[in-house]
Amino acid sequence: MRVGVIGCGKIAINHVEALQRIDGVRVVAVADTEPARAENLAHRYGLPGAFADPDEMLASGLDAVTVCTPHTAHEAGVLAAARHGVHVLCEKPIATSLDAAERMVAATAAAGVRFGVLFQRRFWPEASRIRAAIDDGRLGPPITGGVLARLNRDAEYYAEPWRGRWATEGGGVLMTQVIHHIDLLQWFLGPAVRVTGRVATLAHGRFIEVEDTASAIIEFASGALATVQAGTTFNPGLGVQVWVGDAQGQVASLLEYPEGVASTDVSTVRGQERYADVLARDGAYDIELAEIHRHLVPYHRRQIEDFVDAVRTGRDPTVTGREAVRSLEIVQAVYESSRTGAPVTLTRSA
């Protein structure tokens, strides 16, 4: 399978390294609007092609492509792949607007190509264990849950020009970091139907315009209620907890700490009991972004392997574009609720 990568920033390294480890897959080209970045990445990994124009790369004879551009450029990359009849796996979030996301889903469906969105944290064993416990009934249908994200991002992180801007990033802690964990939450609890939320910029206003703090209540079609509390204002960062509970009082929880690494911190599910003390005094709190990405490489690989298998066998990938609309709709609903002061009813997640 001949594969290319659009966008040659930091996360593209994970994609290239994951793809090169899959039997029968060859990364043959990369593209970036900054030609030097494409050439540098191609040289680093011994790739034969480096393009400044993604359309030119897509026309060179690819079977699949992954999209690693800044958020607002995701749509252009996916639509270009659809035009060329190339299967496409896109980094999260699927887009920064629901209209763009719907255009991407429609275009890939019309072109008959597979379209996946990368939420590699679903491939953590800890996340799969919670989903399996729900599926087999050991954990009853969840009635409650939550996300608690206490992350550290500083001025150096936001120095990359596209970060921290509504026009290019589409949001802050919800859109860039915690959409991963909102995806897990809705994967566990099912379709969300109503969201009430508030966002603010309380600590990083000197260097960003997007939110650094967010709170939300999410109501689900099942009747379950969940909360989200998220911020990039913590020093040191203490990771992200995602948890669910059932009507029998059982709780299953995972903790991402340090970032990119998951553990089961609490489980009272029968046969899976665990009470972990992971926030040690001498723990590795804040780590470099490159190290976070390295921790996630095995899970990028698992999802990319799943996508490659989907292309080969003609099935849908585990996380389709349609599925990825769900987490985006929740995030966008928090923003809208914050703007209007009113709850927002969801129409696309059911």
SS (H, E, C) 268-298: CCCCCCEECCCCCCCCCCCCCHHHHHHHHHH
Is 109 in the same domain as 126? no
Taking alpha carbons only, the member of 191, 137, 189 closest to residue 348 is 191
Domain membership of residue 178 (yes or no) is yes
Is 22 in the same domain as 168? no
> What is the structure's pLDDT at 280?
61
Q: Could you read off the pLDDT of 165-201 as tens digits, one per residue?
A: 999 999 999 999 999 999 999 999 999 999 999 999 9
Instruction: Please say if the pLDDT value at position 312 is more than 90.
Output: yes
Residues in the chain: 350
Q: Quick one: pLDDT band at residue 138, thresholds 50, 70, 90?
A: very high
SS3 82: helix
Q: Quick one: pLDDT band at residue 5, thresholds 50, 70, 90?
A: very high
Q: Find out whether 73 and 307 touch, Cβ atoms under 8 Å.
A: no
Is 133 in the same domain as 253? yes
> What is the structure's pLDDT at 327?
98
Identify the domain containing residue 276 by its residue range: 121-287+326-345
Is 257 in the same domain as 172? yes
Provide mean pLDDT across the span 274-289.
Answer: 73
Domain membership of residue 313 (yes or no) is no
SS3 5: strand
Instruction: Please say if the pLDDT value at position 283 is more than 80.
Output: no
State how far the Cα of 220 lies from the Cα of 244, in Å rounded to an integer.
13
Instruction: Please say if the pLDDT value at position 285 is more than 60.
Output: yes
Average per-residue pLDDT in the chain?
95
- Tokens linked to 97: 């607007």
Domain membership of residue 299 (yes or no) is no
Instruction: Please say if the pLDDT value at position 238 is more than 70.
Output: yes
Spatial CB neighbours of 160, under 8 Å, sequence gap ≥ 6: none
Domain membership of residue 296 (yes or no) is no
Q: What CATH number should be reported for the domain holding residue 278?
A: 3.30.360.10
Domain membership of residue 176 (yes or no) is yes
Q: Quick one: pLDDT band at residue 287, thresholds 50, 70, 90?
A: confident
Instruction: Please say if the pLDDT value at position 103 is more than 70.
Output: yes
State how far the Cα of 104 lies from the Cα of 67, in Å rounded to an integer.
13
> What is the structure's pLDDT at 321?
98
State how far the Cα of 75 lies from the Cα of 56, in Å rounded to an integer.
17
Q: Which of 67, 96, 118 is the last residue of a domain?
A: 118
Spatial CB neighbours of 175, under 8 Å, sequence gap ≥ 6: 71, 93, 96, 169, 210, 331
Is 125 in the same domain as 73? no
Is 146 in the same domain as 271? yes
Instruction: Please say if the pLDDT value at position 226 is more than 60.
Output: yes
Q: Could you read off the pLDDT of 38-64 as tens digits, one per residue?
A: 999 999 999 999 999 999 999 999 999
> What is the structure's pLDDT at 293?
86
Please report which helix (H) or strand (E) contains residue 264, including its range. strand 262-267
Q: What CATH number should be reported for the domain holding residue 78?
A: 3.40.50.720
Spatial CB neighbours of 132, under 8 Å, sequence gap ≥ 6: none
Is 114 in the same domain as 143? no
Instruction: Please say if the pLDDT value at position 281 is more than 70.
Output: no
Q: Which residue has the higher pLDDT, 307 or 274?
A: 307
State how far the Cα of 32 lies from the Cα of 56, in Å rounded to an integer.
11
Q: Which of 118, 152, 184 is the last residue of a domain?
A: 118
Residue 290: Cβ within 10 Å count: 9
Q: Which of 79, 98, 118 is the last residue of a domain?
A: 118
> What is the structure's pLDDT at 350?
54
Is 167 in the same domain as 270? yes
Q: Output phi, psi for 294, to 5 deg.
A: -65, -40
Is 131 in the same domain as 168? yes
Q: Find out whether 328 and 308 touch, Cβ atoms under 8 Å.
A: no
Domain membership of residue 192 (yes or no) is yes
Task: State the DSSP code for 159.
Answer: G
Is 110 in the same domain as 130? no
Q: How many domains does the chain have?
A: 2
